[in-house]
Amino acid sequence: MPQIPITREGLEDLKAELKQLKSEERPKVVEAIEEARAHGDLSENAEYDAAKEEQGFIEGRIQELEALISQAQVINPADLSGDRVKFGATVTIYNLDTDEESTYKIVGNEEADIKENKISYSSPIAQALIGKEVAEEVNIETPGGDKLVEIIQVEFK
């Protein structure tokens, strides 16, 4: 079974979501199905159809989370060090074209969140940066065009 890299924080988030789905969402949808059944004819019961659809979504997500958790390979960035970019690194780059700095943390696919500057290790930006060192210039191919950046800092926290 292939291992899926994830940070400890990301794994805890997945476990919390799984617990919430099992202990709160699943019982709510079962109750909604029972309530809809009490209304009679199920063939034209929109509430029943919606509740069954929601149940399918919840059960599918539970299975997905259980599979992810069982395959998780936890990587603690605090245990890593060096000037080379790798999974778990927090990387500060300087865009040589726009004179802007950006900082990204390279994380697993399931925990990526651009609003928090967490990018997946499989994203074009992370793929271009992984293996490179501080002070190295990197060309990043993005859908919006190529960007030339310099790696300013690599941290593991």
Q: Is there a single domain that holds both residue 106 and residue 131?
A: yes
Contact status, residue 129 vs residue 85, Cβ threshold 8 Å: yes
Quick one: which H or E segment has residue 147?
Answer: strand 145-155
Residue-level pLDDT at 136: 95
- Residue 113's domain comprises 77-155
Number of domains into which the chain is organized: 2
pTM: 0.80
User: Amino acid letter at 148?
Assistant: L
**pLDDT tens for each residue of 35-58:** 888 877 666 778 888 889 999 999
Q: Is there a single domain that holds both residue 60 and residue 90?
A: no
Q: Is there a single domain that holds both residue 70 and residue 81?
A: no
- What CATH number is attached to the domain comprising 59? 1.10.287.180
Which residues touch 57 (CB under 8 Å, ≥6 apart)?
none
Q: Is there a single domain that holds both residue 70 and residue 91?
A: no
Last residue of a domain, one of 74, 96, 117: 74
Last residue of a domain, one of 74, 95, 121: 74
% of the chain residues with pLDDT over 90: 76
Q: Is there a single domain that holds both residue 84 and residue 147?
A: yes
